[in-house]
Amino acid sequence: MDTNEMNSFFAYMKNLSSRVNELKIKTPGTMNIAEIMNRNHLENQHSNIIAFLINPSEIHNHPEYGSLFLKLLKKEKKLGIEGQIIKKVIREKSTDELRRMDIFIETDSDFIIIENKINAGDQENQIKDYVEYVKNQYEVSTKVFVVYLTKFGDNPSEKSISKNQLTIFKQNQQYASLSYSKDIMKWLSQLTVKENEDVLKSGITQYIDVVKAITNKREESFNMNSEITKQLFAEYGKMDRNSLKEKLHAIYDFQDNINLVLYINLFEDIFREGKGKIFLICSDKVNYTKLEEWEKDVLENPQKIGIRFSSDEHITDFFVRDLNSNKFVIASNTDTIDSEYGNKIDEDGYKHARELGSWFNKAILDTDYWEDGMEMKLSTHIIKNWFGIK
């Protein structure tokens, strides 16, 4: 892809971005407390809300919420549950091995284990052990049911329960997979409130919005994604696969080059503000005193670039390990250093280096933070604070 083609591509993407922004402006304003507090993706928070709504003893004062959930499991998921009344709902019920069931429901006849998986993977023999514990604890053999809850109704892996065991559970109507996208959404939509229960209504409405968000079902997001897809297809939909692949690789190469320029710009800034305490490093060489020398080496061999703080026997390196994935690494030869930001730097140099990304990605990639006076200014106040550079 030559320069003219690249310029044409970016002009097109800028125009597409403008169209999407127009859609955003027309979209009604909204506010979701769970998202603002960064709790919308956490499994524990979802389990807390679901358990709260299922529990007839909770302050929502709607025991029918739990009854509707039981109906979902019995009628639609075909579980062989005989119980009619929910007697107890426990969050994180512990087993003898100190494992915790996400939600444990005891009815007047049965025991239901709900394993909630949004982003986490399965643990070894997790479901198998839960079932064995409940059978032994309550001296039952067939009245234990497993509900595996995921975004889209997936089944557990064989790591958690063997394929043969899972098949037996299904045949005995003791297992069901449940999805947020369909099943939880349907159940939530059935929850009604009284005329004066504005707070409860708001809570349910916000939770429905959260579930839509984690399952990609928000109408405004869908509309924007559809607009982008439609416009991209109109521009590139008739192009053959090899041509598209060529364009894509050219864009990736261009991005790598842009990243390298941004990295150099950042480290130059740090070097100038380091007041003699910061040295430039590149390709395992250290203590560059001239920017020109360092820049020349970076451009010729950009695999690893960064800066080094050195004071007496204390040496700490900050460097880019991988341009393609923006991996920024901290390494130190000292035992352990605690910063005011709570990050720890392990000993043994690069071998035990840990990645630190949030502030760096903002300084490099988020142009909103490039203005003078911003807290995360490109001049990297964090580096200065870390080493007490005035």
331, 307 Cβ separation under 8 angstroms: no
Beta bridge partners of 175: 146
Residue 375 CA to residue 373 CA, distance in Å, equals 6
Q: What is the DSSP string of 190-252?
A: T----TT-HHHHHHHHHHHHHHHHHTT--HHHHHHHHHHHHHHHHHHTTS-HHHHHHHHHHHH
47 C-beta neighbours (distance < 10 Å), count: 20
pLDDT value for 90: 92
DSSP string, 309-346: EEETTEEEEEEEEEGGGTEEEEEESSS-EE-TT--EE-
Instruction: Could you list the beta-strand ranges (E) of the chain.
Output: 86-94, 100-107, 111-116, 144-150, 175-179, 278-282, 285-288, 305-311, 314-322, 327-332, 337-338, 344-345, 354-355
Residue type, 28: P
248-268: pLDDT as tens digits = 777 777 777 777 887 888 788
Question: What's the distance, Cα to Cα, between the start and end of the chain in Å?
Answer: 46
Instruction: Say which residues have a Cβ less than 8 Å from residue 161's Cβ, sequence separation at least 6.
Output: 125, 126, 127, 128, 169
CA-based torsion, 71, 77, 78, 81: positive or negative: negative
Rounded distance, CA 36 to CA 105, Å?
A: 31
What is the DSSP pairing of strand 344-345 with strand 100-107? unpaired
Q: What's the CA dihedral at 121, 124, 128, 131 to 10 degrees?
A: -70
**DSSP calls for 148-170:** EEESS-PPPPTTTS-HHHHHHHH
Q: According to the model, what pLDDT value does residue 331 have?
A: 63
What's the confidence (pLDDT) of residue 351? Answer: 36
For residue 310, which phi and psi values (nearest 5 degrees)? -135, 125
Alpha carbons 67 and 178: distance in angstroms, whole number: 16
**What is the Cα–Cα distance from 113 to 146, expressed in whole angstroms?**
5
Each domain of the chain, given as residue ranges in start order, spans 43-214, 255-387
Q: What is the pLDDT of residue 321?
A: 66
In the chain, which residues have pLDDT < 50?
A: 335-356, 373-379
Collapsing DSSP to helix, strand or coil, 269 comes out as: helix
Structure tokens at 154: 């997936």
Which pLDDT score, from 0 to 100, does residue 230 have? 72
Euclidean distance between CA atoms 339 and 198, whole angstroms: 45
What are the pLDDT digits (tens) for 111-120? 999 999 887 7
Task: Give the position of tokens 């559970």.
Answer: 169
Tokens of 101: 């069931």
Torsion sign (Cα): 218, 224, 228, 234: positive
